Structure 1
């Protein structure tokens, strides 16, 4: 039997929390173990419950979602951070990813994206809603030539096998999917990922995936 995905949900609007919780409870594999109305309370709940995933609204009192994401990634790095917002401005996306978020969802998106995002992040993958992914790719494409050179230099530090793993991360595969595709055990993929993040000097899979994209590795996957 698959392990239940424990989730902490943080949003300062009670009705929004109720709606999100209602969607999450439709999936028997997801268990909402805590709810918070501000970022500070969310951090404390994550420390207490150590869930696989925390859903954070961008704008909250006391401590906003971006600040909470930074604290959570530092205190409980095993918890994946999914950002929730009604704002799709590039600055929020960039800052959320820089703070170590594993994914970014728009509240106005399809409820199925919410469930898919929770499962993906719990499985160690990254997740961007299609609308957000389009913005990220557009931003990267505007300056891809210069960024691509830097990314290729970073990727050149990796072994051939590590480059293969990075390419599949860029293609959006989880550790389990990468293991199956490369005929490896999942623990070996996790070990590769740890080395890759260290050598690339990035915080998480999303940032590694961006380098894979910019270096052209995804096209080779």
Structure 2
């Protein structure tokens, strides 16, 4: 690869951003054009700068009170044309990783693989080739191939209810807060879990922790 790849790095930990910046500084064909500590800053950078690849964590302070970057990344990937997205994360829930690929993420790098894998991921993403680091690949191999999540089609209300439930609110409490029936809230909560590929309350809690909701 000879053309310069313009990269924006988004992670709420300054040490991670510094490490990524240091790693990429050794690659003459990669230029970091911006850094963000939350999804609001990432959205603003995307409005200000053209980039080829976004490197983003999932669990970051989000736009509109959200606690992760999934909604913003999903919106970015719906645009045409759009930057390639490399997710840099500690999330290892197989259904979540499959869901990220489903919405158009080009590469997933587990942070435990980052030093040796990130440049490979950037090059693959910039070239339009899907890529997974070792830990991410092994996590995906553990998934039930018959169960495919549909992360990209959660409605705004389903995501709102899912977040409220993950934060510890009861179905009845959510129903009162949103002026809906408990039956409606329960149905939308189950729908959100199904679309995320979550089969139990334990998986829900694990997922919510991995993406920074709790």
TM range (shorter): 0.5 to 0.7
Runs of 4 or more, structure 1, over 6 Å off, are none
Change (3 A) 1:134 1:114: same
Structure 2 residues not aligned, in runs of 5+: 149-214
Name 2:58's counterpart in structure 1: 58
* 8 Å contact kept, 1:8–1:33: yes
Pairwise mapping of residues 1-221 of structure 1 onto structure 2 (< 5 A)?
2-63=2-63, 64-75=68-79, 77-140=81-144, 142-143=145-146
How many residues matched? Answer: 144
Change (3 A) 1:76 1:59: farther
Within 1, Cα distance between the matches of 2:45 and 2:123? 20
Q: CA RMSD in A?
A: 2.1
Secondary structure of residue in 1 paired with 2:112 = coil
Structure 1 residues not aligned, in runs of 5+: 148-221
Within 1, Cα distance between the matches of 2:104 and 2:47? 17
Q: Deviations over 1:16-45 (max 9, x none)?
A: 110111111111110000000111221221
Within 1, Cα distance between the matches of 2:43 and 2:81? 12
Q: What's the TM-score, normalizing by structure 1?
A: 0.59
Within 1, Cα distance between the matches of 2:101 and 2:40? 19
Within 2, Cα distance between the matches of 1:36 and 1:68? 13
* 8 Å contact kept, 2:55–2:86: yes
* 8 Å contact kept, 2:59–2:69: yes
Q: What's the TM-score, normalizing by structure 2?
A: 0.61
1:76 shift after superposition: 5.4
